[in-house]
């Protein structure tokens, strides 16, 4: 196999004038070092966690297209507040794409690298919206026989996040958990995982059709925030499950506080006497996403035994240590077509990824609309 | 010494009709068991943490007085939202007052109880707005020779809270701390404690005269939230001190989020490259009070490595264990007239405590206005 000299790669640049520029560049291929492999990237998902880097805080309703069919360019404007927040990346042309799936077409001399030659792998490490990536073997997860690169494209972010939630729940002494934006790809995966592991799960969604979707895949506790009985439903679900930890993808608005208040109301039902400090049951909310970019607001109607904080996959994996993290990865590989299977609504080439029409759909991060970038697909 | 048959005690009752009733009752004295002592309560502070129980969420601007000079009564109305929150205590006539200072006038048969006979003690355990209290020896802190009951009345809440803050800081791996409403009695104590222990402290206040007061007692970093340069001052103080943990007495509003944002801005200055997840420096905000009862609001402009939560003294002392907690108490006793000295603006009898005129002052929880209840003072 000859190593290709270069391959196309999506780039995102925020300029000092407050504009975002998306483009395709021809990126030279780096020859693998002893412990590296060269992966032909066949598929890479457009995860919510990729869009922040891709769009750089720009208002994508201002996007305009230029360039050619094979080398499209997109320009958009950042709101003034975003310009300051993006100052740290101004002027840098950044590659994008946290994870993907592909085939190892060249390998370094080490036994670990050689063992991967010809294998289908899930890969993590940025710049996956590229045709070729040279990666350390530690960034690759070998997939079982018969698994395709598309099936293995989402081995890390969603599966490890779902496992990270249930692991965090166990390690912090909780016995049931709450998840918001629960009809998402990740949310559906969490339903399957919790079912497999016997973990009671409270799913919070925003629309009746999302509740129906989750029930159709076996979710037991589903609370629809658009329902007038939402707070009562939520409190009932907390009482039924004993959930005292929540993972929130929304971030902004009042729902995080409502979840803590429902946990407290369920705990208060079991209290023998009044305490002005509320229950002693510790209630935890982790914010891991920002689907609502607006401010977070809550009225602290949940006593004093509560905590709210950011949650990110990478620091979590560092905290649990390499052996525990590897065990989670191996579970993902073995269940990638069942518990951890992902579904996509459309496959797009690198060029199509930069079309205004595609951006208008995947940029919304709407539940049920998930795109898969397929860098080997012909450009137009 | 004959044991008095009874003594006066302040009671607070929220009734099902949404009214608060404050009164004085004659409470029978309980004879000490083997490990108990009977304390003549000479002084008990009106701490912010007492006012929630005393007022039961009532709107004290609606308060009316009745009863007699010796047996005053106060009635006030609860806002509708407070009625639901106080449902757990409805119809119960509750005694009030977390801590106090007094003299042991009778003691049980155990050596520990007998050792306290005649001693001046700081006491903790509720119902301290009373003339007499029977308490377990574990609820008493023997004070050094020459310390008066008034000097020892605030041995627990403020001193142990201040020590709890610096201990939490150390145990959670931070090296400097931030305190809000920093001109309070507790805040001034924290200035003295941090100075004694060499801990960098960032004091946040709301008015220039509070900043001046803190500087006059030796505070080094003082940020006034009424100043136009507040955010820049705060960020500068974070950078100077390396503070990554804050204790917030305010609760409501945006200041908690501003503190985390200033910590993040200081951390970002030291970052080698841009990360869309912000710095990896963990930033902690503990809310331990609710001077602003309104909603808490923040825009999450501080990356993902952050946490916000309730902090209460009692669970903290339980977490560190009895030996560590006792060491903190003994330090308080030995420094009660220096590091942990409290100042009061006025002494009030039990009856005066229930006067509308006094309530109008101490109920505001204004900085520099702290009352001391002196239950042995003649009633009128």
Cα torsion B3, B6, B9, B15: sign:
positive
Identify the three-state secondary structure at position A351: helix
What does the alpha-carbon distance between residue A210 and residue A85 come to, in Å, rounded to a whole number? 33
What's the gap in Å between the CA of B311 and the closest CA on chain A?
Answer: 6
Q: At what angle do helices B313-320 and B157-171 cross, to 10 degrees?
A: 50
Q: Which of B274, B304, B311 comes nearest A88 by C-beta?
A: B274
Closest by CA position to A167, among listed A47, A338, A307, A313: A313
**Residues A260-316: tens digit of each pLDDT:** 999 999 999 887 776 777 899 999 999 999 989 899 999 999 999 999 999 999 999
| B 274-303 residues inside an 8 A Cβ radius of A | 274-277, 280, 287, 290, 294-301, 303
Of A88, A274, A295, the CB nearest to B88: A274
Residue A365 has pLDDT above 80, yes or no: no
Q: Are B234 and B258 in contact (CB under 8 A)?
A: yes
Handedness of CA B41, B46, B51, B55 (dihedral sign): positive
| String of DSSP letters for A207-271 | SHHHHHHHHHTT-SEEEETTSTTHHHHHHHHHHHH---EEEES-EEESHHHHHHHHHHHHHHHT-
Q: Which two tokens stand for residue A218?
A: 């076996």
Judge: A295–B296 Cβ closer than 8 Å, yes or no.
no
Q: Do A300 and B306 touch (CB under 8 A)?
A: no
The predicted model gives A352-369 an average pLDDT of: 89
Q: Considering only the beta carbons, identify the residue of B296, B307, B315 that sits closest to A297.
A: B296
**A379 confidence band (pLDDT: 50, 70, 90):** low
The answer to whether the CB atoms of B304 and A310 lie below 8 A apart is yes
Of B337, B341, B347, the residue nearest B145 (C-alpha) = B337
CB contact under 8 A, A307 and B306: no
Please identify every stretch of chain B with a pLDDT value under 70, giving residue numbers as ranges. 1, 274, 367, 379-380
Q: Which of A63, A55, A128, A64 is nearest to A85 (CA)?
A: A55
What letter would DSSP give residue A17?
Answer: T
Rounded CA-CA distance A22/A343 in Å is: 26
B contacts of A251 (beta carbons < 8 Å): 300
**CA-to-CA distance for B313 and B290, rounded, in angstroms?**
15
Q: Where are the alpha helices (DSSP H) in chain A?
A: 48-55, 80-85, 111-115, 157-171, 185-197, 208-216, 230-241, 255-269, 313-320, 322-334, 350-353, 356-362
Helix A185-197 vs helix A157-171: crossing angle, to nearest 10: 50
Contact residues, chain B, for A252 at CB < 8 Å: 300
Q: Which two tokens stand for residue B185?
A: 């009695």
Give the residue among B192, B147, B176 at the shortest CA–CA distance from B238. B176
Residue B282: closest CA among B173, B177, B163, B168: B173
Which residues 199-218 on chain A approach chain B with CB closer than 8 angstroms? none
pLDDT digits (tens, 9 = 90+) for A94-153: 999 999 999 999 999 999 999 999 999 999 999 999 999 999 999 999 999 999 999 999
A69 touches chain B (CB under 8 A): no
Provide the total of helices (H) and of strands (E) in chain B, helices listed first.
12, 20
Residue of B nearest to A299 (CA): B295
- Tabulate helix, strand, coil % of chain A (nearest 5): 30, 30, 40
- Rounded to whole angstroms, how far apart are CA atoms A243 and A259? 10
Is pTM beyond 0.80? Reply is yes
Q: Give the pLDDT score at B9.
A: 98
Interface test with B, best of A246, A253, A309 (most B CBs within 10 A): A309
Nearest to B202 by CA among B145, B282, B259, B163: B259
Tell me the per-residue pLDDT of A158-182, one tens digit each, with 9 for 90 and over: 999 999 999 999 999 999 999 999 9
Map residue B14 onto helix, strand or coil. Answer: strand
Q: How many Cα atoms within 13 Å fall on the side-chain side of residue A292?
A: 19
Q: Name the residue with tokens 């490595």.
A: B305
Tell me whether residues A280 and B309 touch, CB distance under 8 A.
no
B150 part of contact set with chain A, CB < 8 Å: no
Instruction: Answer yes or no: do B271 and A310 touch at CB < 8 A.
Output: no
B85, B271, B297 ranked by CB distance to A296: nearest: B297
**B contacts of A315 (beta carbons < 8 Å):** 280, 305
Q: Which member of A88, A304, A309 has the closest CB to residue B307?
A: A309
Task: Name the pLDDT band for A380 (thresholds 50, 70, 90).
Answer: very low
| Range of lowest pLDDT (A22-26, A365-369, B108-112, B353-357) | A365-369
Mean pLDDT of A185-210: 96
The whole-angstrom separation of Cα B60 and Cα B57 is 9
Report the share of chain A in percent with pLDDT over 90. Answer: 87
CA distance B364 to chain A (A): 19
In this prediction, residue A81 has a pLDDT band, given cuts at 50, 70 and 90, of: confident
CB A12 within 8 A of CB A20: yes
| CA–CA separation, A156 and A170 (whole Å) | 20
The answer to whether A70 touches A8, Cβ cutoff 8 Å, is: no
Q: Which of B276, B299, B315 sits opposite A295 (nearest CB)?
A: B299
């Amino acid at each position: 196999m000859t190593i290709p000299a270069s391959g196309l790669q999506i780039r995102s640049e925020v300029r000092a004038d407050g504009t975002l520029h998306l483009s395709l560049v021809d990126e030279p291929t780096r020859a693998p070092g002893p412990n590296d492999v060269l992966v032909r990237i066949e598929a890479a998902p457009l995860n919510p966690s990729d869009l922040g880097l891709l769009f750089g805080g720009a208002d994508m309703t201002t996007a305009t297209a230029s360039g050619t069919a094979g080398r499209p360019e997109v320009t958009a404007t950042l709101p003034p507040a975003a310009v300051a927040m993006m100052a740290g990346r101004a002027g840098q042309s950044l590659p994008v794409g946290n994870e993907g799936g592909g085939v190892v077409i060249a390998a370094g001399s080490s036994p670990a690298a050689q063992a991967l030659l010809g294998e289908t792998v899930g890969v993590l490490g940025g710049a996956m919206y590229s045709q070729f990536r040279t990666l350390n073997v530690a960034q690759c997860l070998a997939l079982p026989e018969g698994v395709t690169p598309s099936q293995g494209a989402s081995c890390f972010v969603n599966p490890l996040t779902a496992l990270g939630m249930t692991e965090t729940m166990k390690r912090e002494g909780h016995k049931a958990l709450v998840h918001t934006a629960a009809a998402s790809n990740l949310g559906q995966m969490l339903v399957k995982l919790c079912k497999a592991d016997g973990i009671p799960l409270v799913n919070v969604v925003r629309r009746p059709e999302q509740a129906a979707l989750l029930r159709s895949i076996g979710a037991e506790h589903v609370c629809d925030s658009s329902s007038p009985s939402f707070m009562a439903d939520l409190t009932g679900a907390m009482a039924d499950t004993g959930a005292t930890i929540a993972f929130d993808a929304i971030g902004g608005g009042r729902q995080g506080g409502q979840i803590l208040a429902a946990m407290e109301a369920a705990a208060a039902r079991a209290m023998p006497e009044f305490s002005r400090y509320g229950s002693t049951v510790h209630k935890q909310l982790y914010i891991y996403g920002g689907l609502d970019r607006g401010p977070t607001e809550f009225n602290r109607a949940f006593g004093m035994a509560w905590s709210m904080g950011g949650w990110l996959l990478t620091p979590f994996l560092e905290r649990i240590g390499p052996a525990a993290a590897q065990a989670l990865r191996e579970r993902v590989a073995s269940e990638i077509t069942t518990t951890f299977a992902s579904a996509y609504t459309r496959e797009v080439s690198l060029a199509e990824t930069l079309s205004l029409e595609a951006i208008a759909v995947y940029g919304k991060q709407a539940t049920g609309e998930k795109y898969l970038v397929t860098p080997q697909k012909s450009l137009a």
